[in-house]
Structure 1
Amino acid sequence: MLLDQKTTGFAAMRRGPRRKRGFCIDIMVAFAAAVALTVLYVNVVTWAQQPTLVPWAIPPIPVGSIVPSGWLLGEMETMAQGLAGHEHDFYDFVNESRWLQPAGTGGTDYSRLNEALPYWFNGLVPLAYLLDDERLKTQVHSVARTVLDLQTDDGWLGPEVLSERNFWARAPFFLGLIQLAEANSTWRLPIISALHSFNTLANSMLHNNSQGHRVCPPNFECYWGQTRVHDLMISIQWLIDNQESTEMEPTLVENMHMFYDQSDYKWDKWYQDGTFLKVVDDPTTTNPLYPYLHGVNVGQGLKASAVVRRFNHDDSLIAASQRAVEWTMSYHGAPSGTILGDEIERDLSPFMGSELCTAVETAYSFAYLYHSIGQNGYADRAEVVIFNALPVMLTGDHWAHQYLTQPNGPWAAINNEDYNHPDGPFLFTTAHSGRATTFGMEPQYPCCTVNHPQGYPKFVTHSWGYVGENGLAHLFLGPSKVSTPIATVECDTAYPFDHSLRYTIQSAEAFDFYVRVPWWHDGGSSNITIGGVTSRLSPDQTTGLHRVEVPAGTTEVTYSIGASIRMEERVNGTVAVFYGNLLYALDVGSINSSSLPHRFNDARGTGLDSLPFPQVRDYYFNNTKPWNVAIDTSTWEYHGVPSGVDLPKPIFDYGAPPNYITVQGCEIAWDLHLGVTPGPAPANRTCLGARSTYRLIPYGSAKVHMSEIPTL
């Protein structure tokens, strides 16, 4: 429109009047032309000055500048010593990946999507660099070098031959590449060069009838790439923000517009009244809306509108992002912060499953949303997922994980009904092996085996940000250290197990230091102390950031967050219980047994007995205490971390966290759904016996649990 206006305006001025007019009319025309030219000039200047991308609300800090400490360091070290840190040593979908062979010459993957190695790479790059782990660095360097060396002459990156090219798996691999470029400057130029070549090819493919995006190989579902294309756009935007030259910028911008315009699935269009489904009556893969209902797609899609807004400058997408999060979590959200979808969304039933992949993707989306839009609620949501939904699905030693977990799952054992009756009815919408809630190397589909390592590392890399020209902010609270040109800040804390944070700050000059204040904080008992002066918190109403002026030199800051037990209402008269951003679940006890690990496509086999790591096992958990309990919320009492007690490592193992809640309650009659798992809480809550004292423990440590608890 602007170019049309410009052409019309200047052309009319060149042509001049076509017929004789009166003096007054000429004056009026001249005046109108002057006004039009002034408006045009302002529009042109505004267009020229407008940045290509909408600036971050809170700019992130490059990978490698933030490192974990305390319990976060312990969890990430355990991850590196567990399954995630050893997949490259033995796991065929990683070390024998098709990505590591010339296109079409061999290798393996669990599907034609060729996503296994990209998922692994996306998580292992930040894990390796945040831990400064040379063994893991060697692995990711080897993979990066091999893949870049195998880039085809026309620019394609990946194992697909010409007739099988599609864009999806590039997205997670490129996310890994841009993290590597930030963490290690020697990789910066090779990665930028490779991504430039790829985007030149992508531009021609999109111009050629949308090859690889809307037009895919035979028997290949294009919707995977379309529903997740915003993750590919993130790497394009990184190029625009970080490349030395602007020569490629028009191509990169055009690519983003074409990726969006040519997609049949647009998340901002899905989250509209009359379109979005609050309840899914047809939770099957044949439902035409299936791509919008797949839990992992939804978790990734929460940030889609914010990604698109960065290049199309449409601020209505801020509201679209809000709708996406609020509607999804209201109608399909778990109390642990993740999304209920097993793999397909249905409703809020407490027996529904949620994928481990969904947890880590949802956490990343919330982190992205906070940095891009700056609304405090997204940061709290990111913390809730990482402190609850992620750790509950991992064994303490990180050698085994679940494919699906349930809000109410008092056992994580083989579902014999699914296992022995392949014709159904089934507990979950797609995961029918009977092993989906057990813990193992591949308790169901392998995507979560390779995708889960991104959880903690990306939380840490997004946990600090810049504010303005001279500000540094702690966003996602927890123990860590950040080193920037502004200052070096170390946070010593047991948060979220304790709500006192102590900062040691070193800076050459005075600067503005910010801490994020959670939405649930108690204003009367929350404060911050600097230089011996204690003051109340006055956080920004949008970002939740509280500012303090820090002088040059070494400064100590103590930040205390007041909290109390709170509950969130769930379906059927149940509640989820929180203290801060930790969810608490009924302690149902825990006992486990194990067996040889099973492959996802051989759930009924004898198991693998030749793996080089004996730690790889399948685990089956059962409760040892009553699960059918209703509680009296007027009786609960919080028991915090005792003074001077160090948190154990690992922290998210059963019995490890020292904090808990006691509450009075009793056992009630409660039926099983399909005979295998607790059904909806009953309306009749008559006590079956005398009331007793029950304990609620941090959900992430309770591998078997009840988190939606009926009240008396």
Structure 2
Amino acid sequence: MIRTRSRLIWMLAAGLGLATAAAADPPTLQPNALEPLPLGAIRPSGWLKVQLETQAKGLGGGLDEFWPDIRDSAWIGGKAEGWERVPYWLDGIVPLAYLLDDPALKAKAKRYVDYILDHQQPDGWLGPIGDAQKHTPYDVWPLFPLYKALLQYEQATGDPRVIPALVRCARKIDQVVDETPIYEWAKVRAADYAVALYALYDRTKEPFLIEAARKIMAQGHDWRAQFEDYRLTDRQTSGFGMLSHGVNTGMGWKFGPARSRLTGDAGDRDAVFQMLGVLDRCHGQANGMFTCDEHVAGRSPSQGTELCTVVEAMYSLETAIATLGDARLGDRLERIAYNALPATFKKDMTAHQYDQQANQVVCSREGDHVYATNGPDSNLFGLEPNFGCCTANFHQGWPKLAAHLWMKTPKGGLAVAAYAPCVVTTEIQGKPVRVEVKTAYPFRDAVEIVVTVPEPMRFPLELRVPEWSRTPSITMSEVPFALGGRKLRVGDAADVARDERSACYRTLDAEWSGTKTVRLELPAFAQAYRGYNGSTAILRGPLLFALPIAAEWKKVKDNPKFADWEVLPKAAWNYALELSPGRIEDFVTFREVQPAVDAPAFSAGGASVQAEVRGRRLEGWGIDRGAAAPPPKSPVSSPAPLETLKLIPYGCTDLRVAEFPTLLD
């Protein structure tokens, strides 16, 4: 009774905007290392803008027109699913609409936001309380992605309804989890809500929100503890476990960094690196992800990785970069974004896979399949193969990346999280600053950063130097600048020194006036990734290279819009490469090529760089359970003649081999 009464007093006081006498010291948050810019401050350009436009013309921009789970959702008064799918969709369509400044997409997002806000329940709950599909009333999980979507909407529009509605709903959620602690999906995804509460606190300074975050994290699954004593080292082949589930695991990457804002604990801050290291060893893939089809499935490159896991892992990294400011996370973000993300879509983005495979040589529903627990449709390209969660959720991948490319620093400057063509407009020292990134990165090594200011001013740029770049350099003409405490003359080029070949940030402290250009060179070289059974994959910079396999696209189902497809091989794929992983540069040649006109950057026709290697057919390596058999243990031998093979970026392929057995030790 005392606890209930005290809590009631707190709620009444907080509801009136009053401080509570019970709190001797107001709760505080550890500051972020970097602050994300509000939605709209970064606009995509170049190939990245084309990628977002392609998404808008494909599934991303039209689901509300034909897919019942969005079109007829209980979230807008319909009878279809009223659980996670509309929040997922809004979490992607909102940033897509405002990054492209697309009036039609903005109107779509506004229709759903208006209905949700205008129909807030009398007790503060946002959205339906249960639905016709018998989802549990007052299940808090769907509100976690809803908070993310509405906070982005408020950033982009300044809609005055959003913040009060979210604070009111947070009080209801707090009451719900007092009566029924979080369970199932909410329990393993608690950090997503905590991050949203932190953002809400930054806007309102309501102490209640920090306490609500502390409570939700205490009730959530402790991902740090699980990975400090990790037991799921083998392929999971039966049953359903929340803790082996791939999407939950990808979302769990942010748990430690998110909790560190409450605790200040270095172990919490480092937990994301522990998770990444363990997953790389047990389930890692050359594309930066881990297998999960639907559950963690070992290191064989024929096992699948769910699309939801890819986009949620990216968002976890974007969040962790803001919290920690660690350049290593930017390296991982780029590896995933420029390989695993585009590889899982039909290149016009009118279809997607549920599972992608690093060695993906056939996509067919026929026969037995290698997936741990997923069904036979899992690697088809379609509207909702296997299950519709990815159909609703994939939309956040490209837009969230674009929105997190740059962040503000505590010293009043700007920091690069990931490199891609874009334009940043923001204020520094109360003055408008424009930063344009002109680049074909990751397909080229050079990045030009054009800074425009209205009057002379000084502020730093924090430039991320990836681990893989051996001889990076920074050049800036016409203006003096300092790098690493060393003053440079006008026009000097600075070689970027670093310790122990680790990714790092280098501060470029400059006096800006008018328009000035910084040129960053990040020379990339061939690197060997050692995979399953001693197989080898070829990396250059953030890009993974794969052998594209000529394919036949076979329509298997018409949908109200677009279609579902099988993809069948029409060429040989079973090659072993003539290379030694320890001397890979001696065996691989990279060439820049001219892409086809109007072809998306991530497509076979749009591939603007190739890797040439030599290999031999390996007749004993074939299909097993609807997929390429695991690579034979290297080294192997083959009497077949040597052939020159042309590999292209992994994200440009549909059917492919990325991890090869080798002919040499």
What TM-score does the superposition give when structure 1 sets the normalisation length? 0.82
Match of 1:352 in 2: 303
Which SS does the other structure have where 1:74 is aligned?
Answer: helix
Aligned partners of 2:464 and 2:503 also within 8 Å: no
Q: 1:383 aligns with which of 313, 320, 334?
A: 334
User: How far apart in 1 are the matches of 2:306 and 2:638?
Assistant: 34
Counterparts of 1:86-235 in structure 2 under 5 Å?
86-101=62-77, 106-109=78-81, 114-161=83-130, 164-185=137-158, 187=159, 189-210=160-181, 213=182, 222-235=183-196
Match of 1:495 in 2: 441
Aligned partners of 1:100 and 1:107 also within 8 Å: no
Which SS does the other structure have where 1:292 is aligned?
Answer: coil
Match of 2:226 in 1: 270
Deviations 1:630-679 (A, max 9, x none): 11125533334358x79844111223212100111101133446442211
C-alpha spacing 1:430/1:237, structure 2 compared with 1 (3 Å): same
User: How far apart in 1 are the matches of 2:591 and 2:624?
Assistant: 39
Question: What is the Cα deviation at residue 319 of structure 1?
Answer: 2.4
306-315 or 693-702, which moves further after superposition?
A: 306-315
Which SS does the other structure have where 1:390 is aligned?
Answer: helix
Q: Which structure would you say has the larger Rg? A: 1
Aligned partners of 2:307 and 2:341 also within 8 Å: yes
Question: What is the Cα deviation at residue 475 of structure 1?
Answer: 2.1
Aligned partners of 1:392 and 1:701 also within 8 Å: yes
Matched, 1:522 2:491: no
Match of 2:630 in 1: 680
Match of 1:293 in 2: 244
Which SS does the other structure have where 1:669 is aligned?
Answer: coil
Which SS does the other structure have where 1:136 is aligned?
Answer: helix
Match of 1:440 in 2: 382
Aligned partners of 1:57 and 1:371 also within 8 Å: yes
User: How far apart in 1 are the matches of 2:648 and 2:504?
Assistant: 30
* Residue identity opposite 1:331 in structure 2: C
Which SS does the other structure have where 2:612 is aligned?
Answer: strand
Question: What is the Cα deviation at residue 413 of structure 1?
Answer: 2.4
User: How far apart in 2 are the matches of 1:311 and 1:555?
Assistant: 40
Question: What is the Cα deviation at residue 569 of structure 1?
Answer: 0.6
Aligned partners of 1:648 and 1:657 also within 8 Å: no
Match of 1:328 in 2: 279
* Residue identity opposite 2:209 in structure 1: L
User: How far apart in 2 are the matches of 1:408 and 1:392?
Assistant: 11
Matched, 1:623 2:579: no
Q: 1:558 aligns with which of 512, 515, 519?
A: 519
Matched, 1:654 2:594: no
Question: What is the Cα deviation at residue 539 of structure 1?
Answer: 5.7
Matched, 1:284 2:284: no
Deviations 1:204-256 (A, max 9, x none): 2222243xx2xxxxxxxx3111001111111111111112xx3x32x212212
Q: How many percent identity over aligned positions?
A: 30
Deviations 1:144-199 (A, max 9, x none): 110111111110112124972111111111100011111111x1x31110111111
Which SS does the other structure have where 2:300 is aligned?
Answer: coil
C-alpha spacing 1:442/1:130, structure 2 compared with 1 (3 Å): same
Match of 2:483 in 1: none
* Residue identity opposite 1:78 in structure 2: T
User: How far apart in 1 are the matches of 2:280 and 2:403?
Assistant: 25
Which SS does the other structure have where 1:497 is aligned?
Answer: coil
User: How far apart in 2 are the matches of 1:51 and 1:72?
Assistant: 40
Match of 2:215 in 1: 258
Counterparts of 1:688-699 in structure 2 under 5 Å?
688-699=639-650
Question: What is the Cα deviation at residue 546 of structure 1?
Answer: 4.0
Q: 1:310 aligns with which of 253, 261, 267?
A: 261
User: How far apart in 1 are the matches of 2:353 and 2:69?
Assistant: 18
Question: What is the Cα deviation at residue 356 of structure 1?
Answer: 0.8
C-alpha spacing 1:557/1:647, structure 2 compared with 1 (3 Å): farther
User: How far apart in 2 are the matches of 1:393 and 1:411?
Assistant: 13
Matched, 1:482 2:433: no
* Residue identity opposite 1:708 in structure 2: E
Deviations 1:340-369 (A, max 9, x none): 100011211121111111111111111211
Which SS does the other structure have where 1:545 is aligned?
Answer: strand
Aligned partners of 2:347 and 2:600 also within 8 Å: yes
Deviations 1:576-633 (A, max 9, x none): 1111101001122233222433xxxxxxxxxx4xx2x3xx011222223221101112
Aligned partners of 1:669 and 1:688 also within 8 Å: no
C-alpha spacing 1:334/1:542, structure 2 compared with 1 (3 Å): closer
User: How far apart in 1 are the matches of 2:338 and 2:507?
Assistant: 23
User: How far apart in 2 are the matches of 1:398 and 1:591?
Assistant: 18
Match of 2:59 in 1: 83
Matched, 1:242 2:242: no
Which SS does the other structure have where 2:33 is aligned?
Answer: coil
Match of 1:602 in 2: none
* Residue identity opposite 2:608 in structure 1: P
Counterparts of 1:445-464 in structure 2 under 5 Å?
445-464=387-406
Matched, 1:702 2:658: no
The RMSD of aligned alpha carbons is: 2.1
Which SS does the other structure have where 2:367 is aligned?
Answer: helix
Aligned partners of 1:513 and 1:550 also within 8 Å: no
* Residue identity opposite 2:37 in structure 1: I
Matched, 1:431 2:374: yes
Structure 2 unaligned blocks of 5 or more: 1-23, 479-490
* Residue identity opposite 1:666 in structure 2: R
User: How far apart in 2 are the matches of 1:300 and 1:125?
Assistant: 20
Aligned partners of 1:299 and 1:358 also within 8 Å: yes
User: How far apart in 1 are the matches of 2:184 and 2:477?
Assistant: 53
Matched, 1:534 2:497: no
User: How far apart in 1 are the matches of 2:661 and 2:596?
Assistant: 33
User: How far apart in 2 are the matches of 1:291 and 1:297?
Assistant: 7
Which SS does the other structure have where 1:666 is aligned?
Answer: strand
C-alpha spacing 1:552/1:646, structure 2 compared with 1 (3 Å): farther
482-491 or 665-674, which moves further after superposition?
A: 665-674
Aligned partners of 2:574 and 2:622 also within 8 Å: no
C-alpha spacing 1:51/1:68, structure 2 compared with 1 (3 Å): farther
Question: What is the Cα deviation at residue 260 of structure 1?
Answer: 2.1
User: How far apart in 2 are the matches of 1:123 and 1:670?
Assistant: 44
Deviations 1:280-313 (A, max 9, x none): 4x53235xxx111101111111111111111232
User: How far apart in 1 are the matches of 2:255 and 2:283?
Assistant: 18
Q: 2:450 aligns with which of 484, 501, 504?
A: 504
